Structure 1
């Protein structure tokens, strides 16, 4: 039996190892999407089955399940002789979506960590590469009908052998991706982060002993399962249902349904997706690992006090996905799975459990990563470029407060790179970068506001591609709250405004100098009856320019006295009959 103090210290030590890997990865990476946006994650996984031991607090939540799944698949393939067994210093690379991945741009490294000649655990990380080849720069092909059109697919292979980069495998990768000369910085940063993790983990084991740490890991897994079951007991027994909608798959202009029934069974939860849409033609399919991880991260949002560990997922069962677009099989395209479909799955979980957990669940957040890729040639620098922009959006209101404005996506903590960095590295100029005022869904607690940005191509030529969502339906309100505003995408070419047929998805839009891209991301859903919102809060929103006085009356039933709304002129009151 490990005493509680030692157990707590070891738990914090394992977390610190992952946090330092995260920090090392971001600081050494070349690509802004990793170095500035932190679209990456690092973790420690069990030697025997790849089960999650610890993950960095600054890593993307969606990778909680996918990295566990991909590490398990790697262990199984080595055991079955399908992948060469490692020796100390080897690092595997893999991005195959069907082997526990997400989309092809999320590239995983995995390194066995040895103690006394035996594998003690695996260290793994994932980084979003700006490009992995395929039909369009950036990999977000809105019209792809097979995974080959999305980029280079890598099974688990040893990119580093006994600590040395394999030049032949690296040459194959570079020959199939754009701006290949810039990838070496990300590759070396990703490998270096694992080596930092190995050094820190060795120090922890040297201090407490291998047997003590191994015992602590087993105890932490068991306790995480116990804590999750205690949280599940807070959910009323019975059936909790919801539906979340995806705009379209990018090819067939019809919505896709995620139908979910959540059932508490004893001390476990079953998530049944029976009745969800069939596999789709375009890239909005989800692979098994991403679907599982989406459920896990949604529950993590509801019960954040449960430690990150494989044990926390043991009481959760996912069924009914076979034969649906939530369990994509080769060669279905999947570029939208991690950044978009995963957030619709989480939205379905929130919507189903909001009535059951009103003090924990929120209305739907913006639920899109706002994937915008721009690839072309910069004549001033004499080289090609691939720019990837992700965007924030509004969070949903909750029982206690309004939603956060311009928050990161549901599935991660990635933040948009600073405008100054983007303008420095790419031939673009941002006209504005501001809140999408009025986009929060009305409610007793309104949704947070999305983002409104406009950028111009300054020189050269480029092609723009979008894989986003919530252009047809706004994020769902809860408990009587209104939906948040929808996503809006416009491309202004030679003065003419172009709106994508699929609203939030299109690829290969040619841009010339002076052409402009204008994106307004969704606001979060509102929580509770809008007519119960405090009139003083409505007046404050109008005073700050978040809503107009006319919107205040129409949405919240609050009449504001005075044409100029300020602290002195405002006398908020409910309209007649409200």
Structure 2
């Protein structure tokens, strides 16, 4: 069936609009600020036979592109009994998941009485139980210490929610009254998707929409192949490093070998470190999705659907910490490990296509969790917060400052919302001036923020990265400044032993936490930086005058040190 270009474009945008409306309903009806304010969620449409991604909302987190595809495939394999009106609840990391806090729902979509596709979404719940509030347990040595693990179970059956299952879930997590709101928000988003997709099919007909989906996949594959053909054939290798696994204080290596052959590209991660004791193992869905995401960062113009990934071949890295099996802990897989996978791919291909690449970004979500009891409201709470960092310099300019994580388009929650919801004061939130790596084009700056507990007691935990190694530069550029965490309790200031990870920090009234997020890496030699750019940075107060500048020729500027 031949489809004219106008109809094809309208259907393409219509499918995206279905997903985007799901995103908006999910966002506007959720109780948790991490979803409603920070947009840590995603919604999409997936193929009936194989769960392949058909469309995802423009506002959904990119890391979930591959993850939700694998989740849907696992549901298809596990549940052969789904009917119209059913909704599956699942967060099992080993069944196409990520960490336990990313809770997925999958709904079979029926059109005119027969199954047509799947609608699916995921939302980050601030807590799913486990040893520490918020779930980011940096010392877990098995999955059961991280929280409630949910296999694919029917949360809704023929349109009716299973109240017993809801009670079981809520009894095993903290601040249950908020989670029921998040549960209903995800269900409502799927219902919205079903209505909008029905309207699209009614308007254009099944045959036309199915033909459009097939054509869109073919076009995405052709475009991705044309980009890959522009990469010189050959093998390229690079490594990126995790600070530690949270238990053993030693780095973990993400080693990638990239082989380009015509219009196909192959990724081999088998030289990476073996499975680790702590929660920095990655499940296959997260590792695979990270490679897909890296390619989308390089070639962002390729339309997003399953065809985009057809030329990308990833060998399952069995025997490494990037292919976790039960019961390995995996709390850091999506938020942190995946960003090192992306970083390793970008570093490897920077040799082949420097005019398409950029230096490493901050590469950490900066996960900070704090839970306690507020004596003023008489209620328990859990605050989950992530922050931005510097992006790497690129072939045409400096990196942006305070950008979102490599794997998402989420944003930091507004200070005013946090102070309204929790017994805290954000005493400082500012650019971390001078944190960008030196280069012809310097890296962007991270941020510095300080959170003070105003009343009651709380327990804080951290699961971050790039505390031991700053984000690397490329083509002679310098690394950005590494992550820094400081905790002040009873007037005594300390930092975590593992630099970017720690848990069980008991805070009292007046205690505070300060975080300085990484700056991006530099692009090209610092000695090639244009004098007018150096002067511009000096006039803006980004650097102090002095010898040995970090991103300037000799005797131009020097990095500001933290107060």
Query: If the TM-score is normalised by the length of the shorter chain, which range does it land in?
Result: over 0.9
- Pairs within 5 Å for 1:8-157: 8-79=9-80, 85-157=81-153
Any idea what SS the aligned residue of 2:460 has? strand
Q: Is 2:203 the partner of 1:203?
A: no
1: CA distance, partners of 2:246 / 2:523: 31
Q: Is 2:527 the partner of 1:527?
A: no
Any idea what SS the aligned residue of 2:117 has? strand
* TM-score normalized with structure 2 length: 0.97
Tell me what 1:548 maps to: 544
Contact residue 358 and residue 399 of structure 1 kept, 8 A: yes
Tell me what 1:278 maps to: 274
Any idea what SS the aligned residue of 1:97 has? coil
Gaps of 5+ in 2: 558-563
Tell me what 1:566 maps to: none
Tell me what 1:405 maps to: 401
Gaps of 5+ in 1: 80-84, 562-578
Contact residue 538 and residue 558 of structure 1 kept, 8 A: no
Contact residue 424 and residue 453 of structure 2 kept, 8 A: yes
Shift of 1:508: 1.0
Give the alignment's Cα RMSD to 1 decimal.
1.1
Shift of 1:559: 4.5
The one-character-per-residue Cα deviations of 1:145-173 (angstroms, maximum 9, x if unpaired) are: 00000000000111111222210000000
2: CA distance, partners of 1:558 / 1:207: 65
Bigger Cα displacement from structure 2, 233-242 vs 543-552: 543-552
Tell me what 1:2 maps to: 3
- Pairs within 5 Å for 1:168-247: 168-247=164-243
The one-character-per-residue Cα deviations of 1:245-274 (angstroms, maximum 9, x if unpaired) are: 000000000000011110112321001112
Q: Is 2:389 the partner of 1:393?
A: yes
* TM-score normalized with structure 1 length: 0.95
Tell me what 1:432 maps to: 428
Tell me what 2:561 maps to: none
Tell me what 2:492 maps to: 496
Bigger Cα displacement from structure 2, 135-144 vs 4-13: 4-13
Q: 1:144/1:551 Cα in 2 relative to 1: closer, same or farther (>3 Å)? A: farther
Shift of 1:210: 0.8
Q: 1:387/1:553 Cα in 2 relative to 1: closer, same or farther (>3 Å)? A: closer
Q: 1:379/1:5 Cα in 2 relative to 1: closer, same or farther (>3 Å)? A: same
Shift of 1:557: 2.2
The one-character-per-residue Cα deviations of 1:364-423 (angstroms, maximum 9, x if unpaired) are: 000000000000110101011100000100000001010010000000011010000000
2: CA distance, partners of 1:357 / 1:441: 21
Q: 1:551/1:202 Cα in 2 relative to 1: closer, same or farther (>3 Å)? A: farther
Contact residue 34 and residue 127 of structure 1 kept, 8 A: yes
Shift of 1:553: 4.0
Contact residue 243 and residue 468 of structure 2 kept, 8 A: yes
Bigger Cα displacement from structure 2, 542-551 vs 143-152: 542-551
Tell me what 1:575 maps to: none
Bigger Cα displacement from structure 2, 169-178 vs 349-358: 349-358
Tell me what 1:455 maps to: 451
Please list every run of at least 4 consecutive aligned residues from structure 1 whose deviation after the TM superposition is greater than 6 angstroms.
none
